[in-house]
Amino acid sequence: MKQFQAGRLVDQGTYRSFSPTPLDHPWQIDDMGLIQLLGEAERELGRLDMFSDYVPNVDLYIRMHVLKEATQSSRIEGTRTNIEEALQEREEVALDRRDDWEEVQNYVAAMNEAVERLPELPLSSRLIRDTHRTLLQGVRGRHKQPGEFRRSQNWIGGATIDDAVFVPPLHTEVPDLIADIEEFIHNESYRIPDLVKIALVHYQFETIHPFLDGNGRVGRLLVTLYLVSKGVLKRPVLYLSDFFERNRGLYYDNLMQVREQNNLMQWLKFFLVGMIETARGGVATFDAILRLQRETDTRIETLGRRAAKARKVIDYLYAQPLAHAARLGEAAQLSPAATYKLIADLERLGILKETTGGKRGKTYAFAQYLGLFQS
């Protein structure tokens, strides 16, 4: 990697674009600091993957992990939706924030659809384009060729291409560069560690910037999709957007250092540190969920015969921790009167908290659980 050359600037007359070096070739790791971080990241991911096996009904909690990822990834792109708003119904969201809300919902849909398709459709150009189509469906980028690689020049930063921070390669290069990424992902002959490979893929994808809009979100989705597709994680429980958002300046600086100074090592180390911190945070969240489960079950047992119905409400709240009384009644198959009585019991036990303060249209939160996913 010491001889790594990121690419070359190409004179296009009035501006210069950056043409990256293809990825699909042998790589040699000879930096002991990187090797040490790689080992630590692999151990932490192993712990996270193992921990997820011990959490009952883990798929309920994955929805919240995905929702948090959606809000954080979209926040990097400038949206203002937080996780509480993302849990609301569309009609409850203020008109001036609905575009942001819809982008978050699209991100959730794009991730879920892509993960579901992985067993039948490998991580590929087709899956990337289909994911992009879902991401931009009906939102602000819907006129920017959803599901299609760009057919014109784009740029990053600056009001025009003349003062851009970075100009990706010409659109005519995009198909071959994406094909190279696809070949690199599935090429097993070079024996590159998976975490190094996906760090390279993410960098290269963001450098190619193959779409007119949504490149950052798709590039971050690729990380989780890769880990699941390669069996590094059995379930999609690790997302890097929160780390990238908290270290946004370093994230962009490290990507630019690769392009301008061929400093690939710094990017790889930054990426692996993100893996380590995020995996540890995931383990801590799952541990907190297990403790909360035990505490909640203990409280519910005091309800006697109503405990069974209360557990149905709680199971619903693990997937949707912010809900109206009607939804909670449907989950427990209770009449409105019985629902409100059970809600009162759950409020008394400190499990539910009314969030609106109004007399009608009240919303209830499983506050302790929701707090585990708030940044």
**Phi, then psi, of 156 in degrees rounded to 5:** -120, 130
Instruction: Report residue 328 as tokens.
Output: 């909670």
Residue range 127-140: average pLDDT?
92
Higher pLDDT, 360 or 229: 229
Mean pLDDT of the chain: 92
DSSP-assigned beta bridge partners for residue 324 = 363
SS3 159: coil
Q: Whole-angstrom Cα distance, residue 325 to residue 104?
A: 24
Query: Cα–Cα–Cα angle for 241, 267, 109, nearest 5°?
Result: 25
Q: Which helix (H) or strand (E) holds 118?
A: none
pLDDT of residue 138: 83
Q: Give helix 194-208 / helix 215-229 axis angle, nearest 10°.
A: 160
What is the pLDDT at residue 109? 93
What residue spans of 301-356 are helical by DSSP H? Answer: 307-319, 325-332, 336-348
Average pLDDT, integer, range 142-161: 92
State the pLDDT confidence band at 162, using cuts at 50, 70 and 90. Answer: very high
Counting every residue, how long is the chain? 375
Contact indicator for 68, 34 with CB cutoff of 8 Å: no
**Window from 7-11, 65-69, 268-272, 296-300 with minimum mean pLDDT:** 65-69
Residue 359 has pLDDT above 70, yes or no: no
Query: Could you report the per-residue pLDDT of 206-256, keeping only the tens digit for each?
Result: 999 999 999 999 999 999 999 999 999 999 999 999 999 999 999 999 999
Which domains, ranges and CATH numbers included, belong to the chain?
Answer: 7-285 (1.10.3290.10), 291-371 (1.10.10.10)
Q: How confident is the model at residue 375 (pLDDT cuts 50, 70, 90)?
A: low
Local confidence band at 358 (pLDDT 50, 70, 90 cut-offs): low
Query: Three-state DSSP class for 9?
Result: strand
**pTM above the 0.75 mark?**
yes
What average pLDDT does this structure show over 352-375?
84
Whether the pLDDT of residue 174 is over 90: the answer is yes
pLDDT of res. 141? 72
pLDDT at 25 over 90: yes
Is a pLDDT exceeding 70 seen at residue 193? yes
- Among 8-22, 34-48, 361-375, which is the least confidently predicted range? 361-375
Q: Nearest CA to 134 among 146, 150, 118?
A: 146
What pLDDT band is residue 77 in, cutting at 50, 70 and 90?
A: confident
Name the band, by pLDDT with cuts 50, 70 and 90, for residue 322.
very high
First to last CA, the chain: 36
**pLDDT score at 218:** 95
Contact 269, 277 (CB under 8 A): no
The structure tokens listed for 304 are 């006697």
The neighbouring-strand residues paired with 199 are none
Residue 70 pLDDT: 86
Spatial separation of the C-alpha atoms in residues 187 and 203, rounded to whole Å? 18
Question: How do residues 109-129 score in pLDDT, each as one tens digit?
Answer: 999 999 999 999 999 999 999
Which has the closest alpha carbon to 6: 238, 265, 185? 265
Q: Which two tokens stand for residue 375?
A: 């940044």
**Is the pLDDT reported for residue 310 higher than 90?**
yes
CA nearest 59: which of 105, 106, 116, 107?
116
